[in-house]
Amino acid sequence: MPGVAYRRSLVSPDPLTRLAREDSGRVLALLARRFGVGPAEEAVQDALAEAARVWPERGVPMNPPAWLMTVAKRKAIDRLRREASARRRTRDAAFDSQVAGSDTADAADAWAVDDGDGDTMTVDEQHISDDQLRLMLLCCHPALDRDTQVALTLRLVGGLTTPEIAAAFLVAEATLAQRIVRAKRKIRDAGIPLSIPADLDGRLDSLLSVLYLVFNEGYLSRGGASDGAAVRVDLADEAIRLTALVAALVPDHAETDGLLALELFHRARSHTRLDDAGDLVLLERQDRSQWDGAVIRDGNAVLARALRRMQPGPYQLQAVIASHHANARAAADTDWPAITVLYAQLVAMTGSPVIRLNHAISVAMADGPLAGLALLNDIGGLDSYHLLHATRGELLARAGDIAGARAEFERALRFTDNPAERRHLERRRLDPTV
């Protein structure tokens, strides 16, 4: 599948990190079907902790995912046995007899394994795929708020730790941990099933929105991490990995491929967004020879596959726009009239004020700064969005209104904490003519 080679190139060389990122979600999904999400997660985390203890001494097993499955199953069964034993000590003999003959014995029989490291995954790939999809859709259940959906997806499916997620989204670790605990309690108490809903498209839309949010947080926030002030998880790469997984699980969903293509096009040029000093480099000034051509070709192939289905959607339109940028050999080769038409379609489709802002930029590039400024004045709901003011500043500068440009760059500075963006805006405020 296009994008697979790229995804593999992002994997950490550390075997334990690779196991946690790429395989713990698969194992968790399989165990959750029998033991429930909470117990399955605890079993997987216990198994990963055991790997951290024993692998340095005994070495990495031949098949790490099978090793994780084997150990996590044992951990889950041991937990059931301990809980059954505790119940037997506190309940009457009749109830004790009923417990001993039910869940624990069934689980032990169903998940019996040998004592080796495990050379194969004993469940067929179709079951793995189904269970992974169920887990991802559970994480994005409409009963959970969007922040919780993001946290659960990264925690249960992506294999990220609670501290990593908290650091990435700049929230306190305790706050993030409480959010996850409350979500799992809500899933348990409400009896939300680990199942694929009849309205799959509706739930998939929510899942794609979560992955898009994760990607944007990683991609647009890179300026805050590149100056060395904080260690961040590479959320953009994780979003691509999870989107590619969804695309493989639901191969006929055009918008999933649209999102994956969009992410790939942006990721292909991510290394040129900042210079060696960590300062922002605008698209038109980026060194296109440094863009990742292989990733762009992957994006082109994924986008072509999506468009062949003739099911247009917002992610596909955004991906087509990104493809125009990614495939232009030079900034002067960019087909701004075509991009303007695409943004107009997106505005009609979504009504998003951010899309309206991007449409105004494309009109300015195609027809001049005054045409873009006229559209900016009609956009509402973005008064606290720094890019609205930064865009107006750029267009005013190009139109010759230097004082007005300085004022807009000053306004933009009030609404962003990103260090790279702030440095860029400071330079533009001091000299809008550059």
1 and 97 share a domain? yes
The answer to whether position 312 is within a domain reads yes
- Is 428 a member of any domain? no
Contacts of 245 (CB under 8 A, 6+ apart): 132, 136, 157
Q: Is 135 in the same domain as 237?
A: yes
Residues 200 and 143 in one domain: yes
In this structure, the answer to whether residues 240 and 324 fall within a common structural domain is no
End-of-domain residue from the set 226, 251, 276: 251
Residue-wise pLDDT for 239-279, tens only, equals: 898 899 889 888 889 999 999 999 999 999 988 988 888 88
Residue 342 lies in a domain: no
Q: How many structural domains does the chain have?
A: 3
The two structure tokens encoding residue 189:
């108490």
The answer to whether 413 touches 426, Cβ cutoff 8 Å, is: yes
What does each C-alpha distance from 235 to 26, 133, 220, 292 come to in angstroms?
Answer: 19, 20, 10, 18
163 & 267 share domain: no
Domain boundary among 316, 334, 352: 334
> Is the same domain home to 276 and 162?
no
Domain end among 251, 286, 311: 251
Q: Are 163 and 228 contained in the same domain? A: yes
In a domain, 105, yes or no: yes
> Cα angle at 390 between 382 and 239, to 5 degrees?
70
Cβ burial, residue 374 (10 Å; 0-12/13-18/19+): middle
Q: Quick check: is 17 in a domain?
A: yes
Q: Is residue 373 part of a domain?
A: no
Q: Are residues 247 and 148 in the same domain?
A: yes
- Indicate the range of 4-13, 84-93, 250-259 predicted with least confidence: 4-13
Q: What is the tens place of the pLDDT at every residue in 114-140?
A: 333 333 344 444 545 678 788 888 888
pTM: 0.75
Q: Would 365 be classed as within a structural domain?
A: no
Same domain? 138 vs 243:
yes
Phi, psi angles (nearest 5°) of residue 14: -70, 120
Tokens of 124: 């067929």
374 assigned to some structural domain = no
The range of the structural domain enclosing residue 36 comes to: 1-112
pLDDT in tens, 233-242: 467 888 898 8
